[in-house]
Amino acid sequence: QVQLVESGGGLVQAGGSLRLSCAASGRTFSTSPMGWFRQAPGKEREFVAAFSWGGGSTYYADSVKGRFTISRDNAKITVYLQMNSLKPEDTAVYYCAAGAADWRGPYRYWGQGTQVTVSS
């Protein structure tokens, strides 16, 4: 069994920053891609960012490019999402995902989500 636990969400004003963390347990997957997704109320889950171990490549949705940064700490089996210049439209529940052979998915494992709320 693989468990992913997100943390770091909260309430922040527009223009502020947050860093989300996703701690993994139950297995190691140092060479596997990790992704972040989000789901706003009444909307479908959407891709935010992914980290591909091969070449250390990162991928971002157009809506967050230049503002969000995904990274990974193998020693802690943890992935992070640094979010800067937050906008109200970033408000959503953020989920981390793992267990994909390719950064585009499909991902096998998902966390419970952490709420991010950005006020104007």
Q: What is the pLDDT of residue 53?
A: 73
Q: CA 118, CA 120: separation in Å to the nearest integer?
A: 7
Cα angle 44-93-99, degrees, rounded to a multiple of 5: 80
At residue 33 the predicted structure's pLDDT band, cuts being 50, 70 and 90, is confident
How many CB atoms are closer than 10 A to CB 118? 20
Radius of gyration of the chain (CA): 13
pLDDT one-digit tens code per residue, 35-68? 999 999 999 999 999 998 776 799 999 999 999 9
Q: Identify the residue with better confidence: 70 or 31.
A: 70
Running DSSP on this structure, what letter comes out for residue 86?
-
Q: CA 21, CA 108: separation in Å to the nearest integer?
A: 18
Judged against a pLDDT cut of 80, whether residue 101 lies above it is answered with yes
Q: What is the pLDDT of residue 29?
A: 60
Judged against a pLDDT cut of 90, whether residue 24 lies above it is answered with no
Judged against a pLDDT cut of 80, whether residue 27 lies above it is answered with no
Judged against a pLDDT cut of 70, whether residue 88 lies above it is answered with yes
Taking alpha carbons only, the member of 93, 4, 6, 99 closest to residue 50 is: 99
